[in-house]
Structure 1
Amino acid sequence: MTNMPLASSAITADTLAAFSDAFNRHDLDALMGFMTEDCMFDAAAGLDVHGTRFVGRDAVRAAFEAVFKSFPDAHWGHGRHYVAGERGVSEWVFTGTHTEGWRIEAEGCDLFEFRDGLIAVKRAFRKDRPKQPA
Structure 2
Amino acid sequence: MSASTEVMTTDRLSEFGAAWRAKDVDRLMSFMTEDCEFRASVGTEPGTVFRGRAEVRRGFELMLAYDRGAEAHGGLAFIAGERGASQWSYSHVAADGTVVHVHGCDLYEFVGDRIRVKDAYRKLDGDISRSSADR
Scaled to the shorter chain, the TM-score interval is 0.7 to 0.9
Which residue is equivalent to 2:22?
Answer: 25
Question: How much does 1:106 deviate?
Answer: 1.3
Unaligned runs of 5+ in 1: 1-5
Does structure 1 residue 38 correspond to structure 2 residue 41? Answer: no
Letter in 1 for 2:49: R
Select the structure of larger CA radius of gyration.
2
Q: Which has the higher mean CA deviation after the structures are superposed, 7-16 or 118-127?
A: 7-16
1:5-20 matches, within 5 Å, as 7=3, 8-20=5-17
Q: TM-score, normalised by structure 1?
A: 0.80
Please state whether the residue corresponding to 1:124 is helix, strand or coil: strand
Which residue is equivalent to 1:3?
Answer: none
Which residue is equivalent to 1:95?
Answer: 91
Residues of 1 paired with 2:56 and 2:93: CA distance?
Answer: 22
- Structure 1 residues 20-60: Cα deviation after superposition (integer angstroms, max 9, x where no partner): 000011101100000001100111122314x2110011111
Q: RMSD of the TM alignment (CA)? A: 2.1
Residues of 1 paired with 2:69 and 2:40: CA distance?
Answer: 18
Please state whether the residue corresponding to 2:65 is helix, strand or coil: helix
Q: TM-score, normalised by structure 2?
A: 0.79
Q: 1:124 to 1:65 in 2, by over 3 A?
A: same
Which residue is equivalent to 1:127?
Answer: 123
Kindly indicate whether the alpha-carbon contact (under 8 Å) linking 2:102 and 2:122 is maintained by their aligned counterparts in 1.
yes
Which residue is equivalent to 2:114?
Answer: 118
Kindly indicate whether the alpha-carbon contact (under 8 Å) linking 2:103 and 2:124 is maintained by their aligned counterparts in 1.
no
Does structure 1 residue 80 correspond to structure 2 residue 76? Answer: yes
Please state whether the residue corresponding to 1:26 is helix, strand or coil: coil
- Structure 1 residues 73-112: Cα deviation after superposition (integer angstroms, max 9, x where no partner): 34431411100100000011123468xx476321110000
Identity %: 40
Kindly indicate whether the alpha-carbon contact (under 8 Å) linking 2:38 and 2:49 is maintained by their aligned counterparts in 1.
yes
Letter in 1 for 2:72: W
Question: How much does 1:63 deviate?
Answer: 1.1
Letter in 2 for 1:93: S
Q: 1:75 to 1:54 in 2, by over 3 A?
A: farther
Question: How much does 1:129 deviate?
Answer: 3.7
